[in-house]
Amino acid sequence: MLAGDVVYSAVDEKPKSSPDLARLQDMAVHPDVTFVVDHYTEDWDAVWWARVRGTARMAGGDEETTAVALLREKYPQYESHQLARVVAVDVTEIRGWSGS
């Protein structure tokens, strides 16, 4: 979920092998992250992707409360799930491409 220059991603309460997730440990050691978001459809004119780079951290306090509200507004399925933690990525670069 993009809000301003920050991307928020929830870690929900679904069963995990450990609450100490490897991806969160990696993020703490190497906070510079890159991820790709894409949209595929049979109509190639509507295909697109975006590569996002930024610095990851755990959201806390008022920011976490706001992020949870935004995530629940965008993704109604989160209403019935406890969101254990929220990852915040301070965006430094967005590059993209579209078929049209």
To which H or E segment does residue 69 belong? helix 61-74
**What's at 36, amino acid-wise?**
V
Tens of pLDDT along the chain (100 residues) come to: 899 999 999 987 766 666 678 889 999 999 999 999 999 999 999 999 999 999 999 999 999 999 999 999 999 988 888 888 899 999 999 999 999 8
Burial (CB < 10 A; 0-12, 13-18, 19+), residue 22, is: exposed
